[in-house]
Amino acid sequence: MKANTRKIFRAVIFAALGTVSIASFAGAQNGSMVSSIDPNAGVLTMVNVLTPAPGKQFETIQLLQAGMNNTMRHQPGFISANIHQSLNSEHVVVYAQWKDQASVEAAAKLIQDGKAPNMATVFTIAQPAYHPYDVVSVHPAFETK
């Protein structure tokens, strides 16, 4: 694979790892960690907005769910992933939490090496736009009695 192609492919992989709440894959199904938004947690948050090809939103979601359940949730450093389906467009958002950047890079290599086929297929039908984040603050609703 050419260096430039590999760089683009790696960026695409990072995008999918980061990104309806249709499901929370880590915890809700097996009692392990679930998403928690806490500025003191020290986790890496990846937010990925995927733009599927026309008519491919449902397939994108199915592939993401399978990829998270079958592969990603078993990776060291993976904490949780939540998949969100847009109500007014074809977009799909993945909100994922990882222990650190090294964990994300290891998972990206897994996809690049062909060991996470569902995740790799996502990138053939959806254009990712990912960004890593640190939680700065959380603002819960004010309770009134």
Closest to 130 (Cα-Cα) out of 100, 102, 96: 96
Residue 34 covered by a domain: no
pLDDT band at 7, cuts 50/70/90?
low
Give every CB contact of residue 48 below 8 A, 6+ residues apart in sequence. Answer: 15, 16, 17, 18, 19, 93, 94, 96, 128, 129, 130, 131
Residue 139 covered by a domain: no
* Lowest-pLDDT range of 3-7, 73-77, 106-110, 139-143: 3-7
Beta-carbon count within 10 A of 140 CB: 6
Residue 142 covered by a domain: no
Instruction: Please give the pLDDT value at position 44.
Output: 95
Residue 55 covered by a domain: yes
Residue 132 covered by a domain: no
**How many structural domains does the chain have?**
1
Q: What are the pLDDT digits (tens) for 16-35?
A: 555 433 333 333 444 566 78
The range of the structural domain enclosing residue 88 comes to: 3-29+42-127
Global pTM? Answer: 0.77
Q: What are the pLDDT digits (tens) for 55-91?
A: 999 999 999 999 999 999 999 999 999 999 999 999 9
Instruction: Please give the pLDDT value at position 21.
Output: 35
- Domain containing residue 80: CATH number: 3.30.70.100
Q: Reading across the β-sheet that carries 126-133, which strands appear in turn? A: 23-24, 78-85, 92-98, 44-52, 126-133
Residue 84 covered by a domain: yes
Residue 78 covered by a domain: yes
Residue 60 covered by a domain: yes
